Structure 1
Amino acid sequence: MFAIIIGFTIGVGLPLQTAVNSRLRKAFSSPLLSSMTSFTIGTIFLAIATLLTKSSLGVSGALITSQPWWIWIGGLFGVIFLTGNIIIFPYLGGVQTVIMPIIGQIIMSMLIDNFGWFDSPTHSLGLVRIIGAVLVLIGVFLSISGARILALHHDKMGNDVRFDQPHIPFLWLWRTVGILTGMLSASQTAINGHLGIVLHSAVKASFISFLVGAAALWVIVLLVEHGYHFAPVLHRKSPSWMWIGGLIGAVFVLGNAYLVPLIGTGLTVVIVLLGQIVGSMLVDQFGWFGAQRNPIVLIKLLGILVMLFGVVLIKLF
């Protein structure tokens, strides 16, 4: 029961992190600089956690050269995932910013399982998992378009019903970005899992992943932004909570590292995804952390439940 509570809690925290980091982006006026700040804070937290487990922070040169090159790039995928979520959040809102990456995560995780990429154990694509994938797509359709279709149907029936949705340019482009970042997130999970085996420490693997991501962002920001412009933000009155996104992300990574050996990957994914969906609904419903309010309607909730059932079929069978 304690493991379920942990999984659900860290799942709820992920969409909160996206909302918090989006506020940080607004303060910096730069998704790269806000991502760098978030990653750096998370890296410091994980460095302390690694030292508390009595592990060193370094990696030997022999280990680096003896392992495949892709084992060290999980942090780069994490950078793209985090920055992508910060960019698409203002356009898609809390729920879709969670749903789109989930689609990408499922697609990539099924490919990884089927082909054994990143030295992962193979898990063939059977009928039950295909049915689960179809249910996920149906659930996504209902959660995104169901309310609008119902409203249009009511209009045709002569009822005075309107579904007000702001016009968002390139809406499906942002959704596609979310799917692609989700695919990279699933790849990062597989890579970090293998790195944890190599390093004999999931916590240290999480730290290495964050460190690589933070280092890459410091270089990218220097090249793109021509410096680190912290002064305007530090001298501007901003909410103190906008700095906690990196801590939430680090706790999320640590929570997954703790749960997978305890209750298994499949159950961990399902519980965490349930938390993510609930957290995203709360962010949209109440407009937490400066997010735009987007109230949850019944058909959207139905779509999310259908999608979650599909995830259960994919991950547990």
Structure 2
Amino acid sequence: MGKYMALLLAGLIGIASGMQPSINTALGRYTGVKGASLVSFCVGVTAVFLLNLFSGNLNQLKGLTAAPWYLWLGGVLGAFMVYSSMYVLPKIGAAAMISVLLTFQLVTGMVIDHYGWLGTPVICLDWMRVVGAILLLIGVKLIVR
């Protein structure tokens, strides 16, 4: 995948992650937060299973037992995000929640990049990145009133 295709896909991921909390919160009005979380993950697991099944990638799961235990926490973090967002969104709104979420996500990503944690390429924190984070915080302040 080329750089521009990756950027386009990242944009689509942004749209999806912007929509997901609102969709889950709306579903939660019918099922409750726990029910909506369960439905969200069951549908997601089914979609990922079918994608792997039809693309022939299920055999890659053989390496799972060699992975360190903490790499399994991605699912727990995802569940926390989905579940918690359904409590936060009705209190502060979608734009406020997502602006705070993305700002903290980006700052966390910059720390991970700087230290090369979890096998990521090392991208040192420089003044441009710090200014970018400060501008995001200013943006959050403008959105959250």
The reply to whether TM is greater than 0.5 is yes
Number of the residue aligned with 2:135 = 306
Q: Tell me the alpha carbon deviations over residues 15-70 of structure 1, each in whole angstroms, 9 at most, x when there is no partner.
A: xxxxxxxxxxxxxxxxxxxxxxxxxxxxxxxxxxxxxxxxxxxxxxxxxxxxxxxx
Q: Would the alpha carbon gap of residues 231 and 273 (structure 1) be closer, same or farther in structure 2, given more than 3 Å must change?
A: closer
Number of the residue aligned with 1:81 = none
In 1: Cα distance, 2:58 partner to 2:121 partner: 31
Number of the residue aligned with 1:220 = 51
In 2: Cα distance, 1:226 partner to 1:305 partner: 41
1:311, CA displacement in angstroms?
4.3
Letter in 2 for 1:238: A
Q: Would the alpha carbon gap of residues 226 and 287 (structure 1) be closer, same or farther in structure 2, given more than 3 Å must change?
A: closer
In 2: Cα distance, 1:239 partner to 1:215 partner: 25
Matched-pair contact (CA < 8 Å) for 1:270–1:312: no
Q: Would the alpha carbon gap of residues 171 and 247 (structure 1) be closer, same or farther in structure 2, given more than 3 Å must change?
A: same
Q: 2:83 aligns with which of 251, 254, 257?
A: 254
Highest RCO, 1 vs 2 (Cα 8 Å, sep ≥ 6): 1
In 2: Cα distance, 1:214 partner to 1:203 partner: 16
Structure 1 stretches of 4+ moved >6 Å: none
Q: Would the alpha carbon gap of residues 226 and 284 (structure 1) be closer, same or farther in structure 2, given more than 3 Å must change?
A: closer
Letter in 2 for 1:185: S
1:245, CA displacement in angstroms?
0.8
Aligned pairs for 1:190-205 within 5 A? 190-199=22-31, 201-205=32-36
1:271 matches 2:103: no
Letter in 1 for 2:27: L
Letter in 2 for 1:300: R
Aligned pairs for 1:120-131 within 5 A? none
Q: 2:126 aligns with which of 291, 297, 300?
A: 297
Aligned pairs for 1:1-317 within 5 A? 170-199=2-31, 201-225=32-56, 227-234=58-65, 237-261=66-90, 263-265=91-93, 266-313=95-142, 315-316=143-144
1:286, CA displacement in angstroms?
1.0
1:239, CA displacement in angstroms?
1.9
Matched-pair contact (CA < 8 Å) for 1:203–1:257: no
Q: Tell me the alpha carbon deviations over residues 131-151 of structure 1, each in whole angstroms, 9 at most, x when there is no partner.
A: xxxxxxxxxxxxxxxxxxxxx
Give the structure with the larger helix fraction: 2
TM-score by length of 1: 0.41
Matched-pair contact (CA < 8 Å) for 2:100–2:140: no
Give structure 1 stretches of 5+ with no counterpart. 1-168
Give structure 2 stretches of 5+ with no counterpart. none
1:276, CA displacement in angstroms?
1.1
Matched-pair contact (CA < 8 Å) for 2:114–2:125: yes
Superposed CA RMSD: 2.3
Number of the residue aligned with 1:151 = none
Q: Would the alpha carbon gap of residues 217 and 304 (structure 1) be closer, same or farther in structure 2, given more than 3 Å must change?
A: same
TM-score by length of 2: 0.83
Matched-pair contact (CA < 8 Å) for 1:284–1:295: yes
Matched-pair contact (CA < 8 Å) for 1:259–1:268: yes
